[in-house]
Structure 1
Amino acid sequence: MAAVASCGSASTGSAVATASKSNVTSFQRRGPRASGTNDSGPRLVSIAGTRPSVRNGQLLVSTGLPALDQLLGGGLAIGTVLLIEEDKYNIYSPLLFKCFLAEGIVNGHTLLVASAKEDPANILQELPAPLLDDNSKKEFDEDVYNHKTPESNIKMKIAWRYQLLPKMEIGPVSSRFGHYYDASKRIPQELIEASNWHGFFLPEKVSSTLKVEPCSLTPGYIKLLQFIQNIISEEGFDGSNPQKKQRNVLRIGIQNLGSPLWGDDICCAENVSNSHSLTKFLYVLRGLLRTSLSACIITMPTHLIQNKAIIARVTNLSDIVIGLESFIGSERETNTLYKDYHGLIHIRQIPRLNNLICDESDVKDLAFKLKRKLFTIEVREFLCFSLQS
């Protein structure tokens, strides 16, 4: 018995010594590996420019405005629709639309830009330039004050935001969630050329002589839904065709939806024969988003829609609804209480994802202002001052 015990202890000791030399523990997990494809447990998708929500576990993408991400509970959830009610003169809503697209280019996401007014290629050329991180700014300051070699003088003459870009840009520029953008500058052309984007320009897709039956989708809406469905299916965002490279997100941007340019007449009269065309489009669109790795932002001139029932249905078919109210042309433009702001932002609807209640912010008095470079959202402080006085 003693011999057997000593033999067993010797074999065990040699096994431990061998395991310690190879830095591998003797206790191995049985079954498929955690990094394998046969993992039975659900794993969170790891995609550049995304993060899970701490409240409901939903995968989030940034809207391009960190302040707006905070109001929405951390960002825009994958599979949801963000509806932006355009301001009266359509000055500030295009900036939010472009920040959403620029955030996708910075993170290497695929873009789908749809418009009936402007060519998507021209929209991409007008995207704001991303601001660099603090570390990059420190490196730039060091290069400016470093005069030891002639190379440093050459670097000073080159724009600092172009120095940090690689010559062959393939992956995302930054892994940070949410960036700030300089509205006074345009995004580098190198980033646009390296991005993967698809454009839908309505005048090139639909003929003006095509007729449509009453109470059905307009030709523009039908063509756009088919275009979105083809992109989602062909590039594997719905899982039908596995993506060749690393998994990616599709960012969909639709501009001025519901306007007469899309062939819709809801902005022309209160009682129209084709009043359900827009709501049917949103219903089908949300079904496509729910089954794919995609997120959508829509700008809509709701102030032109005369039938309030249509606005209510559009709101119910959207996950998030944000309204922009500009001070231009109103009495508030000359009011001293509003002198530091350019308009108000109204959070009309927040989604209820994986829970029965929504994460609605307690702050209701929100205002925005466009500085020389940044678009900021702040809490209106003048209400407190007026109450105290």
Structure 2
Amino acid sequence: LVSTEEDKYGVYSSLLLKYFLAEGVVCGHDLFVASAQDPPANILKELPAPLLDDNFITERVEATAAKSEDCQDSMQIAWRYQNAPKVETSPTTSIKFGHYYDVSQKMSPELLQSIKWHSFFLPDEMPLEPKLKMCNMNCGYARLLQSIQSVIYQEGFDGSHPQKKQKNILRIGIQSLGSLLWDDDICSTNTPEDIHSITKFLYVLRGLLRKSLSACIITMPSHLIENKAIMERVTNLSDVVVGLESFIGSERETNPLYKDYHGLLHVHQIPRLNSLICDVSDTKDLAFRLKRKQFTVEVREAVLFHYLEPKRWS
């Protein structure tokens, strides 16, 4: 479970969400997109295009169609892809982790059609009758949990049908959880009507992720949440917590020290295996920049100022 603290205008946090979903498409994972603001179909249409060779889309479609065939056919497809000519996907280094994307281009419809995706758009899911709390939880959160649980069990991501269906991974992306559009008032007052509603949601969601082949990323408008105790609970219930600080509209936008970057990335928490506590990154000074085609995160070069003590004259 990854929690992303949104930047003030939600520009870069939305881009990280799309990167997460785009990586799922390229890897052939199933997607679940939830939002109370933008229709999930529109979010998927805005996914960045992967920097891959021309044969990749065709082979992805072939690999998807061959899932029901025997293992030998799948190995042949993998062998063909392995020997296909590739372009250099990393512009700066030969060490490759995941895939690289061109934010100036949109992902092709053929590639999107090669995977299965599910959606949850809150305005379409809310009933017309008066809103009632379910399980002492916000109605929108409760319905979202029901939808996620339904997909996990019906599509076999809980591992209940290992012989009938090939195992896959479900990537869940939730946009701006906790905002007013989710009918939650944690962003408008220091004393919300139900301060524990989002905590209960994350607690149940964490349990669903633990017992299924699923991964989830959540973006939250943390800069609007006045009660800091809520964000502390969100951090405790998350495996990874990162914060995005955009320079848009701030003094750092014109500061020469930050002229090469568009914002800072704060790593608050990362998972640690075989431990009850989470690890904290040793690298604190991370910055990001959005070029015409690429979004990059890198270690910001520290600028050291040396002050010379004036000589004392006797």
The alignment's TM-score, normalised by the length of structure 2, stands at: 0.83
CA displacement at 1:356 relative to structure 2: 5.0
Task: Give the one of 39, 42, 49 matched to 1:129.
Answer: 49
Does the 8 Å CA contact 1:210/1:219 hold for their aligned counterparts? no
CA displacement at 1:195 relative to structure 2: 1.1
Q: Which amino acid aligns with 1:258?
A: G
Distance 2:202 2:23 in 1: 24
1:255-288 deviations in whole A, cap 9, x for unaligned?
0100010111111100122111000000000000
Distance 1:283 1:164 in 2: 39
* Map of 2:200 onto structure 1: 280
Distance 1:375 1:168 in 2: 25
The alignment's TM-score, normalised by the length of structure 1, stands at: 0.68
Distance 1:207 1:263 in 2: 13
Distance 1:233 1:210 in 2: 29
* Map of 1:23 onto structure 2: none
Matched residue pairs, number?
280
* Map of 1:253 onto structure 2: 173
Distance 2:307 2:280 in 1: 27
CA displacement at 1:354 relative to structure 2: 1.7
Matched, 1:349 2:269: yes
CA displacement at 1:167 relative to structure 2: 7.7
Distance 2:307 2:49 in 1: 41
Task: Give the one of 303, 306, 313 matched to 1:384.
Answer: 303
Matched, 1:290 2:182: no
CA displacement at 1:318 relative to structure 2: 1.0
Does the 8 Å CA contact 1:169/1:191 hold for their aligned counterparts? yes
* Map of 2:9 onto structure 1: 89
Distance 1:274 1:164 in 2: 48
CA displacement at 1:338 relative to structure 2: 0.4
Distance 1:230 1:214 in 2: 17
> Which of the two has higher C-alpha Rg?
1
1:119-160 deviations in whole A, cap 9, x for unaligned?
11111100000012xxx4xxxxxxxxxxxxxxxxxxxxxxxx
CA displacement at 1:177 relative to structure 2: 5.3
Report the 3-state secondary structure (helix = DSSP H, G, I; strand = E; otherwise coil) of the residue aligned with 1:241: coil
**Equivalent residues in 2 for 1:1-389 (5 A)?**
81-132=1-52, 136=53, 161=54, 164-166=56-58, 169-171=61-63, 178-207=98-127, 209-213=129-133, 216-242=136-162, 244-355=164-275, 358-381=278-301, 383-386=302-305
Q: CA RMSD in A?
A: 2.2
Structure number with greater CO (CA < 8 Å, separation at least 6) is 2
Indicate the percent of aligned positions where both proteins have the same amino acid.
62
Does the 8 Å CA contact 1:249/1:294 hold for their aligned counterparts? yes
Distance 1:284 1:387 in 2: 52
Does the 8 Å CA contact 1:215/1:276 hold for their aligned counterparts? no
Report the 3-state secondary structure (helix = DSSP H, G, I; strand = E; otherwise coil) of the residue aligned with 2:141: helix
Unaligned runs of 5+ in 2: 65-77, 83-95, 309-314
1:173-197 deviations in whole A, cap 9, x for unaligned?
9788500110000001101112100
* Map of 1:151 onto structure 2: none
Q: Which amino acid aligns with 2:103?
A: A
Distance 2:226 2:140 in 1: 21
Q: Which amino acid aligns with 1:165?
A: I
CA displacement at 1:314 relative to structure 2: 1.1
Q: Which amino acid aligns with 1:171?
A: A
